[in-house]
Amino acid sequence: MTMTMTIQNYKLRINKTRFTSLNGVLLICNLALVILSAGCGKLSQGRYGQAVKIAVLPAYSTAAMSARYLPLLNRLSRETGFDVQYISAENIPGFGAAIENSQAQLAICDALTFLTLQKTKNAMALAIGRDQNGSTETGGVIITSFAAYAKGINDVSKLKGRAICCASKQSAEGYLSQVKYLFDQGVDPERDLRVVAVGQLDRVLAALEKGDFAAGFIPQSQWNDSLSKCFRILAAGQPVPNWVLASLQGGHTEMDDKVKDAILALDPAKPEDQKILAGLGIFRFADAGSVDLRAFSDMADQMKIPY
């Protein structure tokens, strides 16, 4: 299936892999981005024209993920000379199958998914997101709607016995960060809460607005001033590592090095680069060579989250 859309004067082509859990069928389609404003420029095919497939964890809806990541992949195509292609799945549980079926060479994903890819694909972290202070950690927040807050959901202790929503229980900043914080506060997520995975982060906000849940888990990077008009933050979760660019082919190929160098070169002081980085919810990327995820894997083990 081929679709055509436009965004920010680009005409971009991506491959989108959709995984349907009911029947286990993986559908791969080319998605071309069509124009929202006058004029468009073709995505550079580069000097080499070799296809590089980058799988991106589908934390948000297809439309939101496209808006966030297509400008980045367009830049990577221009800078590396490769034909950088976008691979994704319909939801987080389908991400592993999308990688297998597409034979993606690289992945951009959260830390919990990276731990899984270390086991299944011998993944190697090339770059990791960092904040303005140089920290490579991020986290999640626990939020509630104004209506729920007015009804007494004004503290995490009030969440006991309540239904909570998250995008996926396999998310570092959208689940593990929050449940570790709650556990340390004496709220056992397995015993005291009913946590429901709604599939994508966009749906967490929609479910809270409808009043279906007492609270929800979202990444810190998703919170912005506009959300403060409808929601309140009850607590910030425990820090977890930021999203990573990972090689699924050993980490020592020319392809890996070129993509890594291009992503590390993104400079928040440059307006175009800053726009790309802001869309990702990341200040800048740093080399992941010295990042140690052992404490994070211990946290996942403590909270009995498989990876």
Compute the distance between CA of residue 158 and CA of residue 146 in angstroms, rounded to an integer. Answer: 15
Same domain, yes or no, for 154 and 251? Answer: no
The answer as to whether 307 is a domain residue is: no
144-171 pLDDT tens trace: 999 999 999 999 999 999 999 999 999 9
Question: Are 152 and 117 contained in the same domain?
Answer: no
pLDDT band at 237 (very low <50, low <70, confident <90, very high): very high
In whole angstroms, give the CA distance from residue 137 to residue 68.
20
Helix, strand, or coil (residue 288): coil
The answer on 97 and 202 residing in a single domain is: no
Q: What is the pLDDT of residues 80-128, one digit of tens each?
A: 999 999 999 999 999 999 999 999 999 999 999 999 999 999 999 999 9
Q: Are residues 87 and 76 in the same domain?
A: yes
- Which residues span the domain enclosing 86? 2-135+241-302
- Please indicate, yes or no, whether residues 10 and 81 belong to a single structural domain of this protein: yes
Question: Do 161 and 221 belong together in one domain?
Answer: yes
CA-based nearest residue to 34, from 9, 65, 56, 53 = 9
- DSSP β-ladder status, 41-42 and 10-11: parallel
Tell me which of 217, 238, 259 is where a domain ends: 238
- 123 within domain boundaries: yes
CATH number for the domain that contains residue 214 = 3.40.190.10
In this structure, is residue 41 part of a structural domain? yes
- Residues 185 and 70 placed together within one structural domain of the fold: no
**Other Cβ atoms closer than 10 A to 214:** 24
Same-domain pairing of 223 and 256 = no
Q: Do 203 and 217 fall into the same domain?
A: yes
pLDDT of residue 32: 35
pTM, full prediction: 0.84
Whether residues 131 and 273 fall in one domain? yes
Number of domains into which the chain is organized: 2
